[in-house]
Structure 1
Amino acid sequence: MQVDYLIIGQGICGTFLSYELQKAGKKVLVIDEAQPFSSTKVASGVINPVTGRQVVTTWMAEELMPFTWNAYTSIGLEIQQQVIQNCPIQAFPPSEQMLEAYEQKMNNQPSFIQPIAANDIIDYHTYFYFNHGAVAISPAWLVDLHALLKGWRQKLEETSALLEESFDATQLQIHATGITYKNIQAEKVFFCNGVNTFQHPLWEKLPYSFNKGEALIVDIPDLPQNHIYKFGITTLVPWYDGLWWAGSTYDNRYTDALPTDLFRQRKTAELGMLLKGKFTVVDHIASIRPATVERRPFAGLHPTQPAAGILNGMGTKGCSLAPYFAHQLAQHLVNGQPITPAGDVRRFSATLSL
């Protein structure tokens, strides 16, 4: 079997890379196991242009926000699903200092922070305990990751572009002019398979880190689902079937990928201090996600083995970074356009060449 590109993994990186390459007229084959939702199963799907206690605008936010809206809208039309919606964040600062930090950012141009009307803040006292006002973060997007991955997987199946099996690294041979995997030949192979990417000798020297994320799935009757609600380290995000995603942790000292009793106890206690009404925990989810030490993705071709490439290490910003760098990587392959240097994996050429 001959294809242009072999892609390992159909998470958000593999999904958008295969989409962009197919759109450019290239023949791709994606290798992925029957259960594709690994780190995405705990991801909230939120694209937030503001982050941290210092209320910092996220890297490239002004460019990423419109790009991601267009990218998800485009792939949504392809799979006949609405996979992105506008869902402003209502942020409730945990202290006066945080409120002041938000208010100072309102004066920036452009600003992603807006005031909330006094009457709306009064209404929020019906649902929440809070003492330091509230502000809006807008625009903010909410991505339906399950619909996206399921819909694109079906599209890959329809075009005979999916090999549903576990990737066996021992079967991969990389040559100067291409790659061979079992009976498959391709120009290049791309590693988009999450934490497993870094088990391969090609990529094991990259400065990566693994973080564990956990979240509770909660039933909160009558809480309006037209906003995301943020309380310091706890965020409530509209989930599926009228439920809420409540999380998350970013733990790099974990022992396994399983949900922990400690997280469940702590997050349940936090929700009890935030919510005035009754709530019920209906599920508890966890997984491991790869990130980079410098919080910038790995995108591009290996400096000494250019038949191998990578799109990985998106961390907590995968919903915004993956579509953008998948597009850049596809354009680099097809049209020779450059990848943003801060995201190009060749910034680690010295390390990868050892």
Structure 2
Amino acid sequence: MIYDFIVVGHGLAGAILAETLRSRGNKVLVIDEPKENSASRVAAGLLNPVAGKRFAKSWLVDTFIPAADAFYDTLEVRYGKQLYFHKLIYKIFSSIEEQNTWMAKSAGGNWSEYISATYTQSINQPDVDDPFGGIMIERGGFLHVYGMLDLLTEDLLQQNLLMPERFDISQLQLTEGGVKYKDIEAKHLVFCEGYQVINNPYFAWLPIQPTKGEVLEVQTEQNLSPECIYNKAVYVVPEGEGRFIIGATYDWRNPDEEATPQGAEELSERFRQILPQAFKITGHWAGIRPAVRDRRPLVGTHPEYMQLSVFNGMGSKGVLMAPYLSEHFADALAGQTELMPEIHISRYFSLYYDYIKHQNQQP
């Protein structure tokens, strides 16, 4: 059999792209080494339409959210299991200055679709430390990423469409009709390797910054409202019965996958600033995100080898971005549209030519 696509990597981005390509009738083979501490599997899967301290709408959020809702709804119907949880996000002001920044920002635009309330003082919810108030963000939530990946993985395995092994790039051959990997042929191959793309000789020139993130699971005697995610320097996702997921750290200096005492202490201290009470750590994980210098995804076909593409670089925004971008990329691969320039790897082609020049100068 000749496949239409080989997808290398089955984290969040690879899984959503593979599912999108399959839904269009393509024959898709996925190659992925099972790994419990991949960035996708340890992530809380947060979707937040308002970006950080800048109080700006996330890039293209009006486009991304409907596509994300439709994609996750379709999977939930297929598998008969809830995967995406629509939740309010209470963004707590850390200071009067931050409160003032929001008040000035909100005066200049229409936020009604995403902000349901602004509080200039505490909402007086028991055990929540919010003396400066905050904003209540609509249309957010979280995806059970590991649950979705498990379901899609089992589906692929049952149909013999997943090779659960490390991809050996030395076995890849570029052919006139596409690619050959061991004894498998395909018309096109897409790398969805996350930060591991830095070790890929075809795409190592892309400006990926491996960024470590650590996450805690804690147990307390209190139980915050399960209808709300809390955000103040870290996110706090209540999972019921006093259990919370807390994350995440950002560490680009030590991009390994080891959970550290320093990470646990940082997250614990941030948690105390939201919920100042005793708690017990019941889980601690670390993963590595594929961050990009301009905070835009890296999508597109190799500048020389048209059989090879990359779908990567969504960092902590994959839950929001991947459903729409996978459809957009599938359209581009089918010749039905041009990739939007903001995500196209062509913006970094100069790095590729520098990379090739350097490689040619090696003794």
Aligned to 1:298: 298
Shift of the alpha carbon at 1:36?
5.9
1:68-124 deviation line (CA, Å, top 9, x unaligned): 1112112332333322121110111001111122233444224422325799912x1
Shift of the alpha carbon at 1:150?
0.6
Shift of the alpha carbon at 1:235?
1.5
> Could you tell me the TM-score, scaled by structure 2's length?
0.90
Amino acid at match of 1:114: S
Shift of the alpha carbon at 1:238?
3.2
State how far apart, in whole Å, the 1-side matches of 2:249 and 2:276 are.
23
Amino acid at match of 1:25: G
Contact 1:10 1:36 (8 Å CA) reproduced: no
Amino acid at match of 1:43: A
Structure-2 change in CA distance of 1:338 and 1:141 (3 Å): farther
Aligned to 2:34: 34
Contact 2:223 2:242 (8 Å CA) reproduced: no
Gaps of 5+ in 1: none
Counterparts of 1:206-221 in structure 2, within 5 Å, are 206-220=206-220, 221=222
Aligned to 1:128: 128
State how far apart, in whole Å, the 1-side matches of 2:269 and 2:293 are.
31
Contact 2:300 2:311 (8 Å CA) reproduced: yes
Counterparts of 1:108-187 in structure 2, within 5 Å, are 108-111=109-112, 112-115=114-117, 121-122=123-124, 124=125, 126-187=126-187
Amino acid at match of 1:5: F
Question: SS of 1:223's equivalent?
Answer: coil
Shift of the alpha carbon at 1:258?
0.5
Structure-2 change in CA distance of 1:149 and 1:213 (3 Å): same
Amino acid at match of 2:192: C
Aligned residue pairs: how many? 351
Contact 1:11 1:36 (8 Å CA) reproduced: no
Contact 2:211 2:255 (8 Å CA) reproduced: no
Structure-2 change in CA distance of 1:273 and 1:292 (3 Å): closer
Counterparts of 1:37-56 in structure 2, within 5 Å, are 38-56=38-56
Aligned to 1:98: 98
Aligned to 1:263: 263
Gaps of 5+ in 2: 357-363
Aligned to 1:228: 229
Aligned to 1:25: 25
Amino acid at match of 1:229: Y
Amino acid at match of 2:305: Q
Deviates more, 1:100-109 or 1:154-163: 100-109
Question: SS of 1:3's equivalent?
Answer: strand
Aligned to 2:9: 9
State how far apart, in whole Å, the 2-side matches of 1:256 and 1:277 are.
31
Deviates more, 1:259-268 or 1:33-42: 33-42
Amino acid at match of 1:103: M
Matched, 1:280 2:260: no
State how far apart, in whole Å, the 2-side matches of 1:188 and 1:302 are.
11
Shift of the alpha carbon at 1:240?
8.3
Between the aligned residues of both structures, percent identity stands at 28
Aligned to 1:201: 201
> Could you tell me the TM-score, scaled by structure 1's length?
0.93
Contact 2:291 2:313 (8 Å CA) reproduced: yes
Shift of the alpha carbon at 1:14?
1.0
Shift of the alpha carbon at 1:242?
6.3
1:30-62 deviation line (CA, Å, top 9, x unaligned): 011233650013312111111122212111112
Aligned to 1:86: 86
Aligned to 2:360: none
Structure-2 change in CA distance of 1:227 and 1:196 (3 Å): same
Question: SS of 1:230's equivalent?
Answer: strand
Shift of the alpha carbon at 1:255?
5.7
State how far apart, in whole Å, the 2-side matches of 1:255 and 1:334 are.
36
Shift of the alpha carbon at 1:134?
2.3
Question: SS of 1:87's equivalent?
Answer: strand
Shift of the alpha carbon at 1:219?
1.3
Deviates more, 1:268-277 or 1:210-219: 268-277
